[in-house]
Amino acid sequence: MPIPTWSVGQVLAAADVNSWFVDLAAFKAANTVRNNATQTADPDLVVSLAASASYDVRCQLLYTGIINWSFTVPAASTGSYGATYNVGGTGYTSVANGWTTTGSNAAAAAQQVIIEGCIFTSTTAANLVLLWATSGSATLINGSKLLCKRVA
C-alpha cells in the first residue's frame, strides 16, 4: 500500500494516525530467564504488523549468558536484517540474515545485540515475534526493545 496523500485541512482518521505516525514498540519491563535450548517466543518482544506494508525494524537485545535468536514473521513476508554484536570480547561481528534465519552470540558476559532491517508483509497481518533460546542459562534483560516504523 502506498503512503497516503492528505490534503490541507483534511481531518485524519484515527486509523491513519495510528498506522502511519505511531511507531510500533515492544519493551521488556522485567528480565526473562531461560534454561532451554529450544527457541520460544519472548513474552514481551512482539509487535503486530499490518498486511501489505513495509517496516523499518530495529531491535536491541540486552542479555547475559549465551543466546541464539530468530523471528517469526507474517506468512509470505520478505526482507532481511543484519545483527551486530561482540563475540566473546574479541571484537564486533555483523551478520546478515533473512528474517527466519537464526543468529547466535557465543559470549557469556553481559552483552547486547543490535538488529536492524526491513520487512515487507504480504496480504496477511500478523505478529513479528522474537524467538530465543540458550545452550545453558541466559537472561534477556529489561530495557530490551523491538521497534517498527511503517515506511510504506
Instruction: Name all domains of the chain by residue range, CATH numbers in brackets.
Output: 17-150 (2.60.120)
| Confidence check: pLDDT of 152 > 90 | no
Instruction: From 113, 112, 148, 142, select the one nearest 127 (Cα to Cα).
Output: 148
- Give whole-number Cα distances, 82 to 35, 48, 96, in Å: 26, 21, 4
Instruction: From 70, 63, 67, 61, select the one nearest 128 (Cα to Cα).
Output: 70
| Higher-confidence position of 152 and 6 | 152
Cα separation, 140 vs 62, in Å, equals: 6
| Confidence check: pLDDT of 104 > 90 | no
pTM metric for this prediction: 0.82
Any idea which of 57-66, 67-76, 99-108 has the lowest mean pLDDT? Answer: 99-108
pLDDT interval class at 93 (50, 70, 90): low
Percent of the chain having pLDDT more than 90?
52
- 13-42 per-position pLDDT tens digit: 777 666 677 889 999 999 999 999 999 999
Average of per-residue pLDDT across 78-93? 73
CB neighbourhood size of 27 (10 A): 12
Residue that the C-alpha cell 502506498 belongs to: 2
